Amino acid sequence: MELLKKRILEEGEVIEPNILKVDRFLNHQIDVALYVEIGKELANRFKDKKIDKILTVEASGIALACFCSNALNQQPVVYAKKDDSKIISENTYSHPVHSFTKNKTSNIRVDKKFFSEDENILIIDDFLANGQASLGLASIVNQAKANVVGIGIVVEKGFQQGRSLLEKEGYKVESLAIIDHFENGKVIFR
């Protein structure tokens, strides 16, 4: 997606060797016009699939998944929760996910009532790096005996193992921008 790559080149910042900061338009401040276009492009990548629901994880995946849904048929979006809350029931599918950028492991959880056997679930997330979040979401879909239609990602770090782990499980992965590597603090796309 050229519009997204342009914004990453113009406004992304490489901090630490392997961290890309895109907080000016993607995951702290949101450029809503860009989000609408990202939603359309994610929808476009999966437009031939039967999709009953979209699954993502809080926080930064939620609005992206919603705009993708809005560009498809407004399918329900379910987001896995990271925190303990009185609101969520005990009756959940869950999976531990380690976040590298937050340096902590959260048990992501989805209330069992939201997925039925054989439903077709599209997974959406903002970043794909080591694949832990997407694998956790796919595990939740599998626990529900539902089907993973595919995994739509906004920014993929192509030099990490996420994609190969997901493809090894048979999942179709579509990323709107794939970073091949960082070079002197610059982003080089594949």
Q: Is 63 in the site for its own copies (CB under 8 A)?
A: yes
Q: Which of 44, 75, 142, 147 binds its own copies (CB under 8 A)?
A: 75
With contacts defined by CB under 8 A, name the span among 44-52, 64-72, 148-156, 157-165 that binds its own copies: 64-72
HSE (side-chain half, CA atoms, 13 Å) at 99 = 12
Compute the distance between CA of residue 181 and CA of residue 32 in angstroms, rounded to an integer: 27
Compute the distance between CA of residue 14 and CA of residue 17 in angstroms, rounded to an integer: 7
Residues contacting its own copies: total by CB under 8 A: 44
Interactions with its own copies, residue window 9-48 (CB under 8 A) = 15-16, 19, 21, 23-24, 27-33, 35-36
How many other β-carbons are positioned within 10 Å of the β-carbon of residue 83?
A: 11
Alpha-carbon separation of residue 95 from 34, 135, 150 (angstroms): 31, 9, 19
Q: Which is nearer to its own copies, 9 or 33 (CB)?
A: 33
**Side chain identity, residue 100:** F
Q: Which of 62, 119, 120, 143 binds its own copies (CB under 8 A)?
A: 62
The alpha carbon torsion through 73, 35, 171, 165 (nearest 10 deg) reads -160
Pull the structure tokens for residue 68.
Answer: 């993708």
CB 179 within 8 A of CB 189: yes
With contacts defined by CB under 8 A, name the span among 40-48, 59-67, 131-139, 177-185 that binds its own copies: 59-67
Q: Which is nearer to its own copies, 35 or 46 (CB)?
A: 35
Smallest gap from Cβ 66 to its own copies, in A, equals 4
With contacts defined by CB under 8 A, name the span among 111-119, 147-155, 166-174, 175-183 that binds its own copies: 111-119
Q: Is 105 in the site for its own copies (CB under 8 A)?
A: no
Compute the distance between CA of residue 181 and CA of residue 143 in angstroms, rounded to an integer: 35
Residues at the interface with its own copies (CB under 8 A): 15-16, 19, 21, 23-24, 27-33, 35-36, 58-60, 62-63, 66-67, 69-70, 74-79, 81, 83-88, 101-103, 110-111, 113-114
